[in-house]
Amino acid sequence: MKLFFAPLQGYTDHIYRSIHNEVVGGIDEYFSPFVRCDGGAVRNKDLRDIAPENNCGVNFVPQVIAAGVEELAPLLAVVEQAGYGRIDLNLGCPFPLQTARGRGAAALANPDKVEQMMQELKRHDTLKTSIKMRTGFTSTDEGLTTIVILNNFDLQHITIHPRLGVQQYKGQPDLEAFARLKEASHHPIVYNGDITSTDGIDRIASLFPDLDAIMIGRGLLARPTLAREWREGCERSEGERLATSLEMHRRLYEYACRTLQGDQQVLARMQAFWEYQKPLVDKKVYKRLMKTTSLRNYEEAVRSLE
Ligand SMILES: Cc1cc2nc3c(=O)[nH]c(=O)nc-3n(C[C@H](O)[C@H](O)[C@H](O)COP(=O)(O)O)c2cc1C
């Protein structure tokens, strides 16, 4: 079973992906957080994130989000110009800032837009396409309609996160809806959602033995060694996991201090690194890491973990 690292805006930027790949690995493909247009132009920050020179040695797929062909076309152009042969289209983001513009999961309620975007992707036949979607925006019927449209196009795979867009992250993943969409699709399917342990990987792999891959997001942020542990068939101790996180931290902190401006920016980036790792860190130290406003204080808190 292949394992993919899910895209997580604000967390899995190119430096995180590179460091994870170097220090831990165990991942077959990383996906970039979505690249998007603002005011008609592709954001510079996103361009830097997918630039080939910032992604050396990492097997990663650039992801884009768009409300329709007008927004999609410039995104396809930059991905092609950067020399990539792969692209992932986001039809799953549930955040109101995106869905209010018709992007992400909201596109699932608009089959004409999906069809038009797929036709545009087909015209760019150097780009092998995959889709990342929810089971629908407001109902599973929307997801099924989308799957039927997607059956008419060549795709690498479809990743399905089995929640509706309007649920955001509430409730449990709907495995029944996942199975229905998977049944209806002619494409290889990737499961994504709420996997936090090696048992969780085994459970999904045994429920759906013909999956193309399993994609994990927050579970890997919380335990960066999760995929590696599953591959090796050997759970690591809390101490070993913390040691790995500290090594990732050392490299990320060095990069953040070198490239970001001002303590606040550096602290914000590092706090995002620790945010999902709360269970791994002593309670008091965690509070200090998240609350501090000075780098000196922050460094002292990290040292107390070593
Ligand atoms: C903070 C945050 C940022 C995310 N950013 C993206 C994104 O840029 N592109 C995307 O396709 N999904 C994004 N997602 C969704 C995740 O990729 C994933 O589908 C979701 O978290 C469910 O998987 P998990 O339970 O393994 O985390 C984001 C999720 C979170 C919580």
Regarding the beta carbon of 162 and ligand 1, being less than 6 Å apart is answered no
Same domain (yes/no): 258, 191 = no
Q: Kindly tell me if the per-residue pLDDT of 39 is higher than 90.
A: no
Same domain (yes/no): 153, 260 = no
Instruction: Output the average pLDDT for the chain.
Output: 97
Same domain (yes/no): 56, 130 = yes
Same domain (yes/no): 61, 27 = yes
Indicate which atom in ligand 1 lies nearest the CA of residue 104: 11
Regarding the beta carbon of 9 and ligand 1, being less than 6 Å apart is answered yes
Closest of 132, 126, 177, 165 to residue 150, by C-alpha: 132
Q: Are 102 and 108 in contact (CB under 8 A)?
A: no
Q: Kindly tell me if the per-residue pLDDT of 145 is higher than 90.
A: yes
Residue 88 DSSP symbol:
E
Rounded mean pLDDT, 129-140: 98
Q: Torsions phi, psi of 214, nearest 5?
A: -120, 135
Protein residue closest via CA to atom 15 of ligand 1:
8
Q: Torsions phi, psi of 98, nearest 5?
A: -90, -45
Give ∠ CA 222-223-229 in degrees, rounded to 5: 160
Regarding the beta carbon of 8 and ligand 1, being less than 6 Å apart is answered yes
Compute the distance from residue 8 Cα to the ligand 1 centre, in Å: 5
Share of residues in the chain with pLDDT > 70 (%): 100
Compute the distance from residue 244 Cα to the ligand 1 centre, in Å: 23
**Could you report the per-residue pLDDT of 185-214, keeping only the tens digit for each?**
999 999 999 999 999 999 999 999 999 999
Compute the distance from residue 12 Cα to the ligand 1 centre, in Å: 10
CA distances from 19 to 41, 55, 170, 219, 290 (A): 29, 10, 31, 17, 22
Compute the distance from residue 6 Cα to the ligand 1 centre, in Å: 6
Indicate which atom in ligand 1 lies nearest the CA of residue 88: 11
- pLDDT level of residue 89 (50, 70, 90 thresholds): very high
Same domain (yes/no): 220, 298 = no
Protein residue closest via CA to atom 8 of ligand 1:
33
Compute the distance from residue 271 Cα to the ligand 1 centre, in Å: 18
Same domain (yes/no): 227, 253 = no
Instruction: Tell me the C-alpha distance between 220 and 35, whole Å.
Output: 21
Q: What is the pLDDT of residue 40?
A: 86
Taking the C-alpha atoms of 249, 250, 256 and 262 in order, what is their torsion angle to the nearest 10 degrees?
100
Closest of 7, 68, 80 to residue 37, by C-alpha: 68
- In three-state secondary structure terms, 24 is coil
Residues paired with 89 in a beta bridge? 64, 131
**Could you report the per-residue pLDDT of 251-289, keeping only the tens digit for each?**
999 999 999 999 999 999 999 999 999 999 999 999 999
Q: What total number of domains does the chain contain?
A: 2
Tell me how crowded residue 285 is: count the other CB atoms within 10 A of its CB. 16
Choose one of 216, 232, 248: the last residue of a domain: 232
CA distances from 250 to 58, 139, 145, 298 (A): 19, 44, 47, 13
The preferred substitution site among 5, 8, 45, 269 for testing ligand 1, maximizing ligand atoms within 8 Å of CB, is 8
Q: Are 65 and 104 in contact (CB under 8 A)?
A: yes
Regarding the beta carbon of 136 and ligand 1, being less than 6 Å apart is answered no
Same domain (yes/no): 112, 142 = yes
Regarding the beta carbon of 163 and ligand 1, being less than 6 Å apart is answered no
**Could you report the per-residue pLDDT of 238-254, keeping only the tens digit for each?**
999 999 999 999 999 99
Same domain (yes/no): 142, 265 = no
Q: Kindly tell me if the per-residue pLDDT of 7 is higher than 90.
A: yes
Same domain (yes/no): 48, 117 = yes
Residues paired with 60 in a beta bridge? 30
Same domain (yes/no): 158, 190 = yes
Instruction: Tell me the C-alpha distance between 18 and 63, whole Å.
Output: 17
CATH number of the domain that 201 lies in?
3.20.20.70
**Could you report the per-residue pLDDT of 45-87, keeping only the tens digit for each?**
999 999 999 999 999 999 999 999 999 999 999 999 999 999 9
C-alpha atoms less than 13 angstroms from C-alpha of 184 in its C-beta half-sphere:
19
Residue-range definition of the domain harbouring residue 13: 2-232
Q: Are 49 and 43 in contact (CB under 8 A)?
A: no
Same domain (yes/no): 54, 102 = yes
Compute the distance from residue 112 Cα to the ligand 1 centre, in Å: 25
Is the overall model pTM greater than 0.95, yes or no?
yes
Closest of 178, 183, 119, 179 to residue 153, by C-alpha: 119
Choose one of 180, 211, 232: the last residue of a domain: 232
Compute the distance from residue 214 Cα to the ligand 1 centre, in Å: 14
Regarding the beta carbon of 172 and ligand 1, being less than 6 Å apart is answered no
Tokens 């795709």 identify what position?
A: 155
Choose one of 232, 260, 295: the last residue of a domain: 232
C-alpha atoms less than 13 angstroms from C-alpha of 244 in its C-beta half-sphere:
24
Regarding the beta carbon of 6 and ligand 1, being less than 6 Å apart is answered yes
Same domain (yes/no): 251, 219 = no
